[in-house]
Structure 1
Amino acid sequence: MYKKLIVLLLLLAPTLAAKAAPGTAITHNKGGYLTNAVLKYPSSPKLRSSIALIYDEQDQRSLYSKNASAIVPIASITKLMTAMVVLDAKLPLDEKITISVFDFDILKNTHSRMRIGMTLTRGELLNLALMSSENRAAAALARTYPGGTHAAVAMMNEKALELGMKKTQFRDATGLNSDNTSTAHDLAKMVIAAQHYKLINKYTTTASHMVAAPGFAPLRFGNTNPLVKNASWNIDVSKTGYINEAGRCLVMHAHIKDRPVIIVLLDSQGKNTRVGDAIRVKKWMESATPRRQDKNI
């Protein structure tokens, strides 16, 4: 009888596994029960960003959503798309590019430490655009794209459609143009796509980088997201953004409790709010507890 029961359990196991709900882990405990284990989260996190989305990539479900369908300016979050189309074009990363007056911001007159005549490789410009959100670096990348800035922006919009970002539009490569708009849902799709690019992983999570352009004093640039320097975070992709129309923004692909999660925070008022909200999200996810339903077979 005991042997027959064992055989029956082996035959039923695949069927029971197939019936498990998405995101449910099935394990056997010592008592011979099948256990459906899912994470149970406490009440919603108290986030101060006007728009927020927490998306569990493993379970492919939203854990928290706040105005996630609102179409709003996205500022320098734009640069993730700029980087993707530059990398898709497979342009030589060691090609030298010189900053020119055409890379200056005439829309908002933002400050930059990059000067006319500074010559860096395309790879270094990509690093600065992603890590320190350097606008002149992003502008130079678009200007030297095959067909120029207009072609680069057109390709950014084309790729957005390919990724299913139907409520997104780009008007420039830096994000200074407030007509660069999207939704939190769309940006989650962009972050998921971006995390498959090794250089985007590397550059968006680099803490700092020293630039040594011939004829100019060395300059050290830092990451605009202080969380990449925090050992308690496991971040794959990070990008900040800010213009008045967008507020302070932050998107990340990270692992929290060994789960891949996308965090989108838009229109955060206050200099430290987006980082504070990200920390609140992490603590909220770490406070999740397994919820089990044991069934005796």
Structure 2
Amino acid sequence: MSGYFQLGVRTIWLLLACLPAGLHASTPAAVNLASVSAVVVDLERDETLLSQHDDIQLPVASITKLMTAMVVLDSAAELNEWLEIRDWTGDLEKNAFSRIRVTSQARRRDLLRLALMSSENRAAFNLALHHPGGLPAFVAAMNAKAKALGMENSHFADPTGLSIENRATAADLAVMLVAAYGYPLLREYSTTRQFTINFRKPRYRLGYGNTNPLVSSSRWQVSLTKTGYLTESGRCLVMVTEMDDRTVGLVLLNSFGKRSPLGDAGRIRRWLETGNAGTVARAAQEHRQQVLDKAGKL
């Protein structure tokens, strides 16, 4: 087992035990959320604080990159190795954008940081391409990792999250979040506010910012985070932060509106601190109901 993993298997299995299992009705949410599916867990007490339709398998977009990062670190690949940037293959090209130049070189550790903090797709893609056995072996390792963690309702098809075949339940992603929290480097890289990466052959520099604005807010203590978005997935957010004197993990999937997951995070914090259930916009309520109807949920 990788030396990066600190929390241990016991913590993950305790969390699995306290999360709702199988395809059954989720615990009714005591707070109004714009996200279709959500889980809130207390990482220190191994306690599920809230679950909302956490058994629906949904596209997870760039939340995928947390699994990608764990597989990279588990492989014990040299983080200071310079990797040549290669172009997209398959169907990803039509959905992807990147400022990184093909054939230039970057260190593996810098690509890992960009994939986490700024959700850089070409960075994540090339991390997988340079894995022993290439892209197919990397995707197989992602699914093997998910199975080892007990993520029975998850499937990964690519390392970026651009494929809508990357799907999971919020309950499974809560387990993945706990596992990722056990890697100190993932906590550091995912919460980096700004970063300038240096390339060579040719030499150039690119600046990046974090896709989660809460990491720069004095009102939040974020220790791990990843955002995600596709048209099919809506806005997604996973995060470990401090709420009500607790270390809390949040999973928020398929939220309507660019800032809705951030609003949900605020509503959850107020709910934990004051009991206030909050309100959400009618458009978000209608979107949530449409997704639930499509999934066959009442």
Regarding TM over 0.5, the answer is yes
Contact 2:226 2:238 (C-alpha < 8 Å) held by counterparts: yes
CA distance 1:103–1:258, shift in 2 (3 Å): farther
Provide the secondary structure at the position in 1 that maps to 2:211.
Answer: coil
- Following TM superposition, by how much is the alpha carbon of 1:107 offset from its aligned partner in structure 2, in angstroms? 4.8
Match of 2:151 in 1: 165
CA distance in 2, matches of 1:133, 1:103: 18
Q: Does 1:272 align with 2:237?
A: no
2:164 aligns with one of 178, 188, 203? 178
C-alpha distance after superposition, 1:96-124 (max 9, x if no partner): 01211246963533221111122110000
Provide the secondary structure at the position in 2 that maps to 1:239.
Answer: strand
- Following TM superposition, by how much is the alpha carbon of 1:264 offset from its aligned partner in structure 2, in angstroms? 0.6
One-letter code of the match for 2:244? K
Match of 1:32 in 2: none
1:54 aligns with one of 18, 40, 65? 40
CA distance in 1, matches of 2:275, 2:74: 38
Match of 1:228 in 2: 215
Segment of structure 1 superposing worse, 63-72 or 279-288: 279-288
One-letter code of the match for 1:266? L
2:123 aligns with one of 109, 133, 137? 137
Q: In proportion to residue count, which structure has more strand?
A: 1
Q: Which runs of 5+ in 1 are unaligned?
A: 1-42, 290-297
CA distance in 2, matches of 1:88, 1:99: 21
Contact 2:95 2:162 (C-alpha < 8 Å) held by counterparts: no
The size of the alignment, in residue pairs, is: 247
What percent identity do the matched residue pairs reach? 46
The Cα RMSD (Å) is 1.7
2:182 aligns with one of 196, 204, 214? 196
Contact 2:151 2:175 (C-alpha < 8 Å) held by counterparts: yes
Segment of structure 1 superposing worse, 251-260 or 181-190: 251-260
- Following TM superposition, by how much is the alpha carbon of 1:260 offset from its aligned partner in structure 2, in angstroms? 1.5
Provide the secondary structure at the position in 2 that maps to 1:212.
Answer: strand
2:139 aligns with one of 153, 178, 203? 153
Q: Which runs of 5+ in 2 are unaligned?
A: 1-28, 277-298
Match of 1:78 in 2: 64
Provide the secondary structure at the position in 1 that maps to 2:219.
Answer: coil
Tell me which stretches of 4 or more aligned residues in structure 1 moved more than 6 Å. none
- After TM superposition, list the pairs within 5 Å mapping 1:26-37 onto structure 2: none
Match of 1:285 in 2: 272
- Following TM superposition, by how much is the alpha carbon of 1:132 offset from its aligned partner in structure 2, in angstroms? 0.3
One-letter code of the match for 2:57? I
Segment of structure 1 superposing worse, 150-159 or 253-262: 253-262
C-alpha distance after superposition, 1:124-171 (max 9, x if no partner): 000000010000000000000011111111011011011110001111
Provide the secondary structure at the position in 2 that maps to 1:218.
Answer: strand
Match of 1:36 in 2: none
Larger Rg: 1
Contact 1:93 1:121 (C-alpha < 8 Å) held by counterparts: yes
